[in-house]
Structure 1
Amino acid sequence: MNKWKIKSTIKEITIALVLLFIVSSIISYIRAPDLGSNQLPQIEATLVDGSIFSIRKGKPLLIHFWSTSFL
Structure 2
Amino acid sequence: MRISARNQIKGTVKEVKKGATTAHVLVDIGGTVITSSITNESVDALGIKVGSSVYAVVKASDVMIGVD
Q: Is the TM value for this pair above 0.5?
A: no
Tell which has more relative contact order, 1 or 2 (C-alpha 8 A, sep 6+): 2
Query: Which protein has the bigger strand share?
Result: 2
Question: TM-score with structure 1 length normalisation?
Answer: 0.19
Structure (1 or 2) with the larger CA radius of gyration:
1
